[in-house]
Amino acid sequence: MTTQESAAPGETDLTTLLSTLKLTLSPEIFVFITLPGLKLPPPSLEIQMSFREAEGTTIITTQESANTNGIDYTFPCKMITLNVHSSLEAVGFMAAISAKLAEKGIGVNPVSGYYHDHCFVPLGKETEAMKVLQDLATEAQKQVET
């Protein structure tokens, strides 16, 4: 198998992912911006994530960086990092996270990095989201113990 054909590293078992889940809440306020077409961001912009779409490039940056660079933004939010090395091929992990948050009326913009998944939740909902996700991890830990 070549590197391109091999399975992605990381955990794939949903119960293991949920039961070993540790959370980190970033102190920064993040925002979403879009740049039309192939326009490049200013070099001073702090980029947390970027993704090119047909309509333009979506960038997640800090609110402070957007303000400093004079860029309009939307969706002030907080980033919760799911500190478990989930495989890019894991099935149902982000669905379980999103569903649990949805039950409590909390929207989420999930982003998967190579090592971790991240949830961007509306500003002001971060404490409630952290509790919901911690409760989900605790429930999964109890299932593993029985």
Give pLDDT, residue 107: 97
Give pLDDT, residue 9: 83
Tell me the domain boundaries of the chain.
14-145
Give pLDDT, residue 4: 54
CATH for 14-145?
A: 3.30.2130.10
Burial of 52 (0-12, 13-18, 19+ CB in 10 A): exposed
Per-residue model confidence as pLDDT tens digits over 44-89 = 999 999 999 999 999 999 999 999 999 999 999 999 999 998 888 9
Flag whether pLDDT at 1 surpasses 80. no
- Residue 128 in 3-state DSSP? helix
From 88, 137, 138, select the one nearest 112 (Cα to Cα).
Answer: 88
Give pLDDT, residue 75: 98
Give pLDDT, residue 2: 47
Locate 44 and state its tokens.
């001073």
Per-residue model confidence as pLDDT tens digits over 3-32 = 555 566 889 989 999 999 999 999 999 999
Check: CB of residue 126 under 8 Å from CB of residue 133: no
Token pair 């996700």 in the structure block, residue: 133
Res. 43 pLDDT band, cuts 50 70 90? very high
Based on its alpha-carbon atoms, the radius of gyration of the chain, rounded to whole angstroms, reads: 17
Flag whether pLDDT at 114 surpasses 80. yes
